[in-house]
């Protein structure tokens, strides 16, 4: 069952920041907490937090998943959520992630493709607030640091974070400026700031408010795309609009600035991340909403909900919303775009996916995944406890606890009963295929022709994970003849990092930006003596788990780098 373990965004010292919390919710439905957001009175006074891009930001630029060999995996799940049975199979050490935990990790890895700007902003804020040494600008892009950035990035997918973010999206720009002004006056780095266009999202760390006039406000920011540089968001309070130089080297003269209104700029507190609970598994209803991430080669997809249609340019309907993922990747010709879908409870969703698309995420009943090269044969449906499609080129996956199934075929449906996953589809010869996934064989992949790697002469293939590195492959032809073989490997649906289809691969260079080398040329970190972190030195053990330790991987970092704060649970309650 799901524990109520709370998640700390980057450091145990974050508890000091809780005073500026305030839950939020958006769009109605679900367990909205928008009314809990209290907006302070604006003083109209320029104020500075005392943080600066140099030395409190990182000297290296925002990077996509392809720039680092590290992936978000078992050690990150344990660092964030502990090693209980919702996270690790039977709560064992070393941790083997449950199927549902692995699916959540895979979702995080999918959405790291374009960048980690949210992680940069969160980790920089928390290191500054905790007075960590050396300052962030002295840290190198080594495995220890990149892992912490990944964990901080992942906090945007917690339900508590989503609730508050959506609540702030419903507030005016005047309210958001007033809140930042109050926080900075208290010398607390308690908010990240996110901005959106139809084709991309970006997260930054605000640290000062400058009133140029009573209605013209400059929000000074640390932008991980431009290390060490003075960047800002301009806000026109009279007209409730904002502008932001995303790609211009001179932020005062960007030829194509981003712009928008109050719903396109939000803020999220660190305390909302601190309040997060394990975002997968089941038990006492911690996951009450569906969070799905869409990566698509084109912006022509849509989702039919009971209250209307969601699509790029149609960002909300009653109780549901979509917005670009905060990873910083504006649309370029041929470049995929990531969107986040947030829906209360178990609403039926119908996806129209005409181009290459991957959908992955968590519903109150299970983790799901949809992958298609582009479906022209009807809609893909997400239903209560299941997912179904009628196009053999669409691959569906569903994970519930430590059970997981994938399948493709006509009339394809996967559904969970809580203790069993049922797969039903129609084989090419018209035969009805039914497979039950149980604890005896917890990971299964049912494959039919129309899917890469499947023999076009086969009727159906059933792959079962029979050992840690052993797969049984049963091939059934149209006459019912069976061939069974054994091979080495791990089913893709059990892995934390799953290959991205070529059509959805991230461009080598982030669209619209100069090279990373050009953008970091002006950063001169204060001197620090490199040292090697001892791989045997354990990090802080999550509360409630006094025997387990998580070893820091070997890494080279400036002196003091061993003090980098991993994301940690901060409390355990009964049932944890």
Q: Is 283 left (phi over 0), alpha (psi -120 to 50) or beta?
A: left
Q: Which of 367, 538, 540, 401 is nearest to 8 (CA)?
A: 540
Considering the entire predicted model, what is its pTM? 0.85
Q: Each residue of 421-444: pLDDT tens digit?
A: 999 999 999 999 999 999 999 999
Q: How confident is the model at residue 526 (pLDDT cuts 50, 70, 90)?
A: low
Q: Each residue of 345-376: pLDDT tens digit?
A: 768 999 999 999 999 999 999 999 999 999 88
Q: How confident is the model at residue 331 (pLDDT cuts 50, 70, 90)?
A: low
Q: How confident is the model at residue 508 (pLDDT cuts 50, 70, 90)?
A: low
Within 10 Å of residue 93's Cβ, how many Cβ atoms? Answer: 13
Q: Is 361 left (phi over 0), alpha (psi -120 to 50) or beta?
A: left
Q: Each residue of 256-296: pLDDT tens digit?
A: 999 999 999 999 999 999 888 899 986 444 688 899 999 99
Torsion of CA 166, 172, 175, 178, to 10 degrees: 110
d(CA 411, CA 405): 16
Show the 3-state SS of 296-340: ECCCCCEEEECCEEEECCECEECCEEEEECECCCCCCCCCCEEEE
Question: What is the reported pLDDT for 522?
Answer: 63
Q: Each residue of 79-124: pLDDT tens digit?
A: 999 999 999 998 888 999 999 999 999 999 999 988 999 999 999 9
| Cβ–Cβ < 8 Å for 356, 281 | no
- DSSP secondary structure string for all residues of 172-183: -HHHHHHHHHHH
Within 10 Å of residue 441's Cβ, how many Cβ atoms? Answer: 15
Q: How confident is the model at residue 324 (pLDDT cuts 50, 70, 90)?
A: confident
Question: What is the reported pLDDT for 169?
Answer: 84
Please state, rounded to an integer, the average pLDDT across all residues of the chain. 83
Q: Where are the beta strands (DSSP E) in 417-538?
A: 421-426, 432-437, 443-447, 460-467, 470-476, 482-488, 530-533
Cis peptide before 134 (omega within 30 of 0): yes
Q: Each residue of 27-67: pLDDT tens digit?
A: 333 333 333 688 898 899 999 999 999 999 999 999 999 89
| Cβ–Cβ < 8 Å for 576, 544 | yes
Residues contacting residue 175 through CB under 8 Å, at least 6 positions apart: 39
């Amino acid at each position: 069952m799901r524990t109520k373990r709370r998640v700390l965004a980057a450091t145990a010292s974050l508890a000091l920041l809780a005073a500026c919390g305030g839950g939020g919710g958006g769009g109605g439905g679900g367990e909205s907490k928008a009314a809990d957001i209290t907006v302070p009175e604006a003083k109209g006074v320029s104020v500075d937090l005392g943080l600066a891009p140099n030395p409190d930001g990182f000297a290296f630029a925002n990077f996509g998943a392809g720039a680092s060999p590290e992936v978000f995996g078992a050690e990150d799940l344990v660092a964030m959520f502990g090693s209980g049975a919702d996270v690790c199979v039977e709560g064992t050490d070393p941790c083997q992630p449950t199927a549902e935990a692995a699916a959540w990790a895979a979702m995080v890895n999918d959405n790291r493709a374009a960048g980690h700007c949210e992680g940069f902003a969160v980790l920089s804020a928390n290191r500054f607030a905790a007075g960590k040494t050396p300052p962030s600008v002295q840290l190198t892009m080594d495995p220890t640091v990149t892992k912490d950035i990944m964990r901080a990035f992942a906090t945007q997918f917690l339900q508590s974070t989503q609730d508050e973010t959506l609540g702030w999206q419903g507030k005016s720009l005047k309210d958001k400026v007033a809140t930042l002004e109050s926080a900075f006056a208290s010398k607390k780095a308690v908010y990240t700031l996110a901005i959106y266009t139809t084709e991309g999202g970006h997260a930054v760390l605000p640290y000062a408010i400058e009133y140029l006039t009573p209605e013209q406000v400059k929000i000074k920011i640390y932008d991980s795309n431009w290390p060490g540089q003075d960047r800002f968001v301009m806000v026109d309070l009279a007209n409730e609009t904002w502008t932001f130089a995303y790609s211009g080297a001179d932020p005062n003269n960007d030829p194509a600035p981003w712009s928008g209104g109050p719903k396109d700029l939000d803020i999220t507190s660190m305390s909302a991340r601190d309040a997060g609970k394990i975002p997968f598994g089941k038990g006492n209803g911690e996951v009450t909403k569906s969070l799905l991430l869409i990566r698509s080669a084109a912006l022509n997809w849509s989702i039919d909900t009971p209250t209307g249609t969601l699509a790029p340019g149609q960002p909300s309907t009653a109780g549901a919303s979509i917005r670009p993922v905060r990873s910083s990747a504006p649309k370029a010709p041929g470049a995929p775009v990531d969107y986040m879908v947030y829906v209360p409870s178990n609403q039926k969703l119908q996806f129209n996916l005409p181009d290459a698309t991957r959908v992955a995420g968590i519903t109150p009943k299970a983790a799901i995944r949809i992958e298609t090269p582009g479906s022209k044969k009807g809609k893909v449906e997400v239903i209560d406890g299941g997912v179904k499609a009628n196009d053999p080129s669409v691959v569906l996956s569903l994970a519930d606890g430590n059970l997981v199934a994938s399948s493709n075929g006509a009339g394809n449906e996967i559904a969970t009963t809580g203790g069993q996953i049922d797969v039903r589809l129609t084989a090419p010869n018209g035969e009805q295929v039914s497979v039950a996934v149980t604890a005896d064989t917890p990971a299964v992949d049912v494959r039919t022709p129309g899917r890469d790697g499947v023999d076009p002469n086969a009727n159906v293939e059933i792959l079962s994970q029979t050992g840690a590195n052993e797969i049984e492959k049963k091939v059934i032809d149209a006459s019912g003849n069976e061939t069974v073989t054994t091979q080495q490997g791990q089913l893709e649906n059990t892995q934390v990092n799953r290959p991205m289809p070529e059509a959805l691969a991230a461009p080598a260079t982030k669209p619209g930006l100069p090279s990373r080398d050009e953008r970091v040329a002006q950063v001169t970190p204060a001197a620090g003596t490199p040292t090697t972190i001892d791989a045997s030195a354990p990090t802080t053990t999550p509360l409630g788990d006094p025997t387990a330790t998580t070893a820091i991987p070997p890494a080279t970092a400036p002196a003091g780098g061993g003090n980098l704060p991993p994301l940690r649970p901060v409390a355990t309650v009964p049932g944890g």
